[in-house]
Chain A
Amino acid sequence: MYGQAGILYNKTIWHAFFGTLFLATVCALIAGTIGTLIGYAVAKKRRNKWANYVNNVAFLPYLMPSIAVGAAFFILFSNEHINLFNTYTLLIIAGVVKYIPFASRSSLNSMLQISNELEEAAIIMNTPWIKRMTRIIIPIQKSSIISGYLLPFMTCLRELSLFLLLCTQGFILSTTLDYFDEMGLYAFSSAINLILIVTILVFNTLVNKLTGASLDSGIGGK
């Protein structure tokens, strides 16, 4: 245990760092897309009882403690029939389910702001659905949809309790941090923490600069 290479030279940490980045990116992309579509669908058919049902189910994971969701997925996916323990697949599935509420909420709010007529005007002109989404709906609500992607990404980077039961210590950064902390290597765990914070800040600034959307100006806001 002692005699670890310094954090910037430590293979375990770098491996975990890229693992975290990969996981967060994939989770954010999937959860953000599904969440946006849920928001769109629910906003379109607000009176429909199925729409409400979908909306509530999508929100459910938010109400449960992360560790409980993690435990549920652990039991579901690592038994004698399927064993996904310590794979990105399992982490991604768990992450996506957990983070859909962030994306669906922010997207639902923004979709409700778009007047239905904007889309009807395009429908009348025989515009296919995919073009309506990419050329009208998404550009108009660009900032809140990007928030819908950004929130899962940021949260996923620092998530520990959800993933704690689902992988070994060197797999992603937060479990690695926890591992070093418990082993008493506080300098290491603090440094990893710093890496996380700097990463989050860098990404936030990058997205901010590139798209004009940001988390600090609120979800669904301008």
Chain B
Amino acid sequence: MPEIVLENITKRWGKFFGVDNVSLNIPNNSFITLLGPSGCGKTTILRMIAGLETPTEGRITIGDKVVFDSNAGINVPANKRRVGFLFQNYALWPNMTVYENIAFGLKNIHEEMPVIDVEAKRAGDMIRALQNGSRIKEIVEECRDKNGKPDENKAYVKLIDNYSISIYTAKELFALGIHLAQEPDTLAKAKVMEYEAKLSDIKKKLRSEEKDINEKFQVTKGGKVVLENRKLTKEEIDARVRACSRIVKIGMFMDRYPAELSGGQQQRVAIARTLAPEPQVLFMDEPLSNLDAKLRLEMRYELQRLHVETGSTFVYVTHDQMEAMTLATRICLVNNGVLQQYAAPLDVYNRPANLFVADFVGNPSMNFVDGKGKQAEDGSIVLDILGEHKAKFVPNEKVLLSDWREAREKEDADKLEFEHQRLMKKGAVEKSNKDEVFKYHVQRVEEQDESIMDEPVITDEDFVLGIRPEAIDIEPEGRIKTKIYGAMPTGMESTLKLRVGEFLLTGVIFGNSIYRIDQDANIDIKGKDILLFDRKSGKLISAGALEIT
């Protein structure tokens, strides 16, 4: 089944690199989110996989089929890649009803599939539905309008939902008039007999041609299902449209036009339309960004459920880190067209690869604290932080800073060499949107205008500590004396801004205590998930614990 592999994909427009040498492996049946700030190239990556955009260089494989290869000159058009795409603004066709929107794609399917005996299937469905006559009567009775007349269209939808049948079968069932009979069960029984006779007639006829039908009403020959290159029949299209609309609960809007639906309903129609042709890969481009907060949460659950139910591979683009964290099996963070980190959500949260990832993921954002210091003999690093405080950083695993720096320098040199090699090639273009080390933000009471300050000289002794707000805890014995600068209680937790000298730290304290502004508070920094970054390259050195001395 499909696994999507991207190898060295680059997309540029002139000198602007939208996507820069991205390699990605999307395993089958996974839910991947492409996350990044707006304009970072995530939608472009998605559109390139779907075939709506042509990469400048690289190779894309879906399943065992190469769909794009710049060297071999392969470019399979979007319509042959058999993927589903959910657009940000839904792109529902305004001139068609909901039903037509969903059915439209199904009419184009032309592939090898089992032959189904339509008559037999209909008879079979009728027999199944007719087992309980009084239930049918109940269903139709529920659909009476204010004049007491049964509303036919409503009844059809109810019957379809109850028995998973097509509209044609539903009409036939309704026309039998079970709901009008005094004793619906008896009438239903009689009708069942009729249909069983019909079914056995069909079977007899097929057997005379040395064929048979199985329990799915597929025609078999010699015990094997007969396959044929064919289009879907009207019945099958209807059944699939109904099935998809049942998943997203839009059965009652089938005759409406998209303009007559709310945003959330339109979204669900778009999902149903994408699901109907049963794509093995489903691409979604910020599908929830147009919805209100509550509906967005609800749809998030539905998408999660859909992923499990359909078993397809989902690739999802979003700029909302919350959405990415909650939905994905793996997150792929992109900035300025460059892949920053590709890992499971909690890994991205706990062990961000660099300052950009650390800052982007998490709400409220991580605290960054500048520190200056050296590694001691025992592997710990003693740092001057927050003005007058001294802290000892104990890494979880042993790192030798000199080795780490050597590796970093080698990596940088390799990268430079690679870039140099690339530019030597004919037709190579320099990247105009240069990659820079992420400018992290240190919170201060008086914001400094960094643009007018001199660039600080960064040595190997400069580090950045990343402290998640939940690592900060208020304790009477805490080593750092702070004043509460701002407090936002939400009931479950309080987000506090704490003032340490000229610096500010954000902390999240669970429980519903009340904090007064300007109240004194002593804090400690707890846990083994404090992150140490190299200030020069912005890369993560290690995670560890922090001891304030």
Residues of A within 8 A of B (CB): 115, 117-118, 120-128, 131, 135-136, 139-140, 142
Contacts and interface: CB of A to CB of B under 8 A. Distances in A.
B102 to A, nearest CB: 11
B93 A124 contact: no
Interface residues of B, number: 23
Contacts of B93: 118, 121-122, 136, 140
9 contacts: A120-B52, A124-B79, A125-B277, A126-B105, A126-B108, A126-B109, A127-B105, A128-B108, A139-B95
Given A127-B105, A140-B93, A120 B79 contact: no
Nearest to A126: B79
A135 B91 CA distance: 15
A124 B88 CA distance: 15
Given A118-B91, A140-B93, A140-B95, A125 B52 contact: no
A126 B91 contact: no
- Most chain B CB neighbours (cut-off 10 Å) among A117, A136, A140, A142: A117
Nearest to A142: B95
Interface string B90-132: 0101111000000011001100000000000000000000000
A25 B78 CA distance: 39
Contact of A124 (B84, B89, B96, B109): B84
Interface of B: 50, 52, 77-80, 83-85, 87-89, 91, 93-96, 104-105, 108-109, 273, 277
A124 B83 contact: yes
Nearest to A118: B91
B84 A126 contact: no
B108 A125 contact: yes
Given A122-B104, A140-B93, A140-B95, A127 B78 contact: no
Nearest to B50: A124
B36 to A, nearest CB: 21
A212 to B, nearest CB: 13
A121 B85 contact: yes
Given A125-B105, A136-B93, 13 more contacts: A117-B89, A117-B91, A120-B52, A121-B273, A122-B104, A123-B52, A124-B78, A124-B85, A125-B104, A125-B277, A126-B108, A127-B104, A127-B108
Nearest to A128: B108
A89 B273 CA distance: 48
Nearest to A135: B104
> Which 9 A-B pairs have CB atoms at the shortest separation, nearest pair first?
A125-B105, A117-B91, A139-B95, A126-B79, A121-B91, A117-B87, A124-B85, A126-B108, A118-B91
